[in-house]
Amino acid sequence: MTPPEAPQDGSIAATGHPPPAVSLRLETLRKRADFLAAARAAHTAMPGFVLQMRPRRADEEPEVTRVGFTCSKKVGNAVARNRAKRRLREIARRVLPAHGHPGTDYVLIGRKNTTATRPFETLQADLIAALEKLHQAHP
């Protein structure tokens, strides 16, 4: 069975601006020590999340941008925490390739009641604003 062909006029094509395909390599933080190091670094609070940023040393993979996600039990039960983390992962996937700096670790922390319910476009705008604020304060 073959899939149906896409319309040539673009009538049902996705709208918006898709993220760049492979302009920047993102890796996920997995070790507790990396999260603790980011917690001691610069951070900014936004209505939908908290963003922590840590520039890495020259001997720690300078060309890679790493990102971590966390939500405490204050955010809600497992379903609510997973929903909040999914939304954070998606905004990071869309925004960090264009606005993140290579050689930097970012940690996004979900907030109670707002990460899962805030409009998606607003979350994206919040992440861009938070990145600009942190990059200006800590170049």
pLDDT tens profile 23-79: 456 789 999 999 999 999 999 999 999 999 999 887 777 778 899 999 999 999 999
The 3-state DSSP class for residue 106 equals strand
pLDDT digits (tens, 9 = 90+) for 81-104: 999 999 999 999 999 999 988 889
Q: Domain map of the chain by residue range? A: 26-134
Please tell me the distance from the alpha carbon of residue 126 to that of residue 130, in angstroms, as a whole number: 6
pLDDT score of 16:
57
Level-2 CATH architecture, domain 26-134: 2-Layer Sandwich (3.30)
pTM of the predicted structure, to 2 decimals? 0.79
Task: Tell how strand 49-55 and strand 65-70 pair up.
Answer: unpaired
Residue 66 pairs with which residues in a beta bridge?
A: 27, 105
In the block, which residue shows the tokens 């966390």? 70
Please tell me the distance from the alpha carbon of residue 110 to that of residue 12, in angstroms, as a whole number: 33
